[in-house]
Amino acid sequence: MTTAKPTTGDLIQAAAVLVDTSADYTADEFAAVLDAFIAAADDKIRALRFVAKAAESRSEAMRVEAALYAAAARAQAAVAERVTARAFQLMEAAELVGEVLPGARLQVNGGKPGLLYAVGFAATELPALLQRVTVEPDADAIRAAIASGHTVPGVSFRPAGRHLRWTP
């Protein structure tokens, strides 16, 4: 008895199952399952492409869902902030007339005192002891210097990487 060559539908279904169960495996277990999947495929690159596309599709769907959850979380945080601000206003108003409202209190913030800078303040006018200076390489300027033939001590171009591009 001969087995029929897997159809595109068969590959899509197998790839979906592989992607669906991938989170259940350790990296080594997944590598073994993937190796078995590849070994069973007649057209190995085509089979891998289906798995990659299924994983990319799942990843994009999860990214969209995560963005929706993040937006909902931001909206709820904004509600909490508005409610807290309103409670703060009520506490301040009560304090002005000598009332004490139960359930909350106003207190001075702890930690380092905030700094209030005057209009027109310039940090460059401060003594060096009161400034923080950060020095970091300017990657674009370094690339331009090397490209134009200048030697930049301790820096060179690294070889370009490679990537896989699926073809029809």
24-46 tens-digit pLDDT:
899 999 999 999 888 888 888 98
Q: What is the pLDDT of residue 7?
A: 78
The SS3 assignment for 157 reads coil
Q: What is the pLDDT of residue 113?
A: 87
Q: What is the pLDDT of residue 89?
A: 95
Q: What is the pLDDT of residue 3?
A: 64
Tokens of 32: 């073994």
Give the residue from 137, 143, 141 showing the smallest Cα distance to 160: 143
Q: What is the pLDDT of residue 45?
A: 92
**How many other CB atoms sit within 10 Å of the CB of residue 51?**
22
Give the residue from 168, 166, 167 showing the smallest Cα distance to 56: 166
Q: What is the pLDDT of residue 110?
A: 83
CA pair distance 116, 63, nearest whole angstrom: 41
Q: What is the pLDDT of residue 15?
A: 87
Tokens of 91: 């506490």
Which residue positions in the chain have pLDDT lower than 70? 1-3
